[in-house]
Amino acid sequence: MAKSVKHHREPLVRIAKRDTMPLAKAIAVRAIAIALSLVVCAVVIYAITKMNPLKVYATMFEGAFGSKRRIWMLVRDVMMMLCIGVALAPAFKMRFWNIGAAGQVLVGGIATAACMIYLGDVLPTPVLFLVMIVTSCVCGAIWGMIPAIFKSRFNTNETLFTLMMNYVAIQITAYCVSLWENPYGSNTVGIINSQSKIGWFPALFGEQYMLNVIIVSVLTIAMFFYLRSSKHGYEISVVGESENTARYAGINVSKVFIRTMIISGAVAGLAGFIAVSGVSHTISTDTAGGRGFTAIIVAWLAKFNTITMVLISFLIIFLEKGAIEIASKFQLSEYASKIITGIILFFILGSEFFINYKLIIGKKGAK
């Protein structure tokens, strides 16, 4: 007798959604991903420099933590990245793809630089700081609000809208740079108020960047509780889960969109204020740099949890500093850091799969 029933072919590997993974296991998965990515990076570095990979990581460590000054540089940049990540958290939690953080940071930076240049001699320092904070927040908020208004009214694609707003902001910055250029013909603004240091962050406890740390820490903690414990935060997460559910529950979705993007933009504007007044004391189209995009990934990886963001920003900046150190030791291009960052991001992003899904191999899973 020939077989009359054709067997249905079982796929070798099936994918099924997981409910939730225990925290310890989830951390282990990520740790494995990071470890694997470091191995791949080591291979890449070895292929280029022919240097012992372990030594390379020692060099990276040296580059990031080698001296007190380096540690403060690391902290300064972590704070910058963290601040932008914090700004993005509420928007992303709402599933509003604010790719425009770089633009919002820049307009905040322009506002701050304008205050330093035009009002530096006019206002007493405390008032000047107040004006700088308010204007940078307002500018950032407006930049964030425009796409939100169109999104809530016409369902305009916010990913592409905010992306374009970045470049509008970059060109406005380029305009301001050539307007304020100093010395003439250099096409840079130079250090603003380099003699008087008006509008610069004062050093606290003898440390130049202490104020940055304090401001960003307060923002991080405040945002954590805003998202977790406030009514607004609850509305944001409902809208993020499902707009229809939110509507059914009587939440005014348009209002939540606009309100949240005002907050997101304002914090990003504040990041611009810190970047100009607290870090570089100048403005250029690179003030936001690639930070805007990297911060998006940081915010996403942290699952919008601002406390987790501290760790991830730290990791990314550490790698960046380390890679720059390697590059300068071998007189290679600093862009090596971007390759390493990219590889590590790929691995961490890929590892999310194993947290959200499980693989069922063979017929075990078949009913």
Partner 1 sequence: MDMIVTLIQAAVAFGTVIMFGCVGEILTEKSGSLNLGVPGIMYIGGIASLAGTFLYERSTENPNTFICLVLALVCGIVGSMIGGLIFGFLTITLRANQNVCGLALTIFGTGIGNFFGGSLNKLAGGVGQISVPTTSAAFRARIPFLSDLGVFGDIFFQYGWMVFAVIVIAIMLHFFLNRTNTGLNLRAVGENPATADAAGINVTKYQYLSVCIGAAITGLGGVYYVMDYIKGTWANDGSIEKLGWLALALVIFTTWKPLNSIWGAYVFGVLYWAYYYIPGLTRSSQELFKMLPYVVTIIVLVFISVRNKKENLGPAHLGRSYFREER
- Figure out which of the listed residues 16, 23, 24, 54 binds partner 1, where binding follows CB under 8 A: 16
The binding track of 274-313 with respect to partner 1, each residue x by CB under 8 A or -, is ----------------x--xx-xx--xx------------
Q: Which stretch binds partner 1 (CB under 8 A): 64-72, 225-233, 257-265, 336-344?
A: 336-344
Of the candidates 114, 75, 96, 71, which has an alpha carbon nearest to the alpha carbon of residue 272? 114
Report the residue number, 167 or 234, with the smaller CB distance to partner 1. 167
How far apart are alpha carbons 290 and 75 in whole angstroms? Answer: 18
- Interaction of residue 26 with partner 1, rule CB under 8 A: no
- Interaction of residue 190 with partner 1, rule CB under 8 A: no
- Interaction of residue 40 with partner 1, rule CB under 8 A: no
The binding track of 248-277 with respect to partner 1, each residue x by CB under 8 A or -, is ------------------------------
The nearest distance, CB 171 to partner 1, in angstroms, is 4
DSSP H or E stretch at residue 357: strand 357-361
The nearest distance, CB 7 to partner 1, in angstroms, is 20
Q: Which two tokens mark 364? A: 């075990």
How many residues belong to the site for partner 1 (CB under 8 A)?
54
How far apart are alpha carbons 332 and 328 in whole angstroms? Answer: 6
- Interaction of residue 160 with partner 1, rule CB under 8 A: yes
Q: Which two tokens mark 260? A: 């949240």
- Figure out which of the listed residues 349, 359, 361, 366 binds partner 1, where binding follows CB under 8 A: 349
Report the residue number, 28 or 174, with the smaller CB distance to partner 1. 174
How far apart are alpha carbons 248 and 345 in whole angstroms? Answer: 37
The nearest distance, CB 290 to partner 1, in angstroms, is 7
Task: Count Cα neighbours of 128 within 13 Å in the Cβ-side half-sphere.
Answer: 20
The nearest distance, CB 14 to partner 1, in angstroms, is 9
- Interaction of residue 118 with partner 1, rule CB under 8 A: no
The number of residues in the chain equals 367
67-101 in b/e form (b: 16+ CB < 10 A) is eeeeebbbbbbbbbbbbbbbbbbbbbbbebbbbbb
Q: How far is CA 84 from CA 57, 237, 286, 306, 316, in A?
A: 28, 20, 15, 11, 14
Q: At what angle do helices 53-65 and 306-329 cross, to 10 degrees?
A: 110
Q: Which stretch binds partner 1 (CB under 8 A): 51-59, 120-128, 238-246, 345-353?
A: 345-353
Report the residue number, 5 or 16, with the smaller CB distance to partner 1. 16
Report the residue number, 97 or 314, with the smaller CB distance to partner 1. 97
- For residues 74 and 317, the answer to whether their CB atoms sit within 8 Å is yes
- For residues 36 and 347, the answer to whether their CB atoms sit within 8 Å is yes
Interface residues with partner 1 (CB under 8 A) are: 15-17, 48, 97, 99, 150, 154-157, 159-161, 163-168, 171-172, 174-175, 177-179, 290, 293-294, 296-297, 300-301, 331-333, 335-343, 345-346, 349-350, 352-353, 356-357
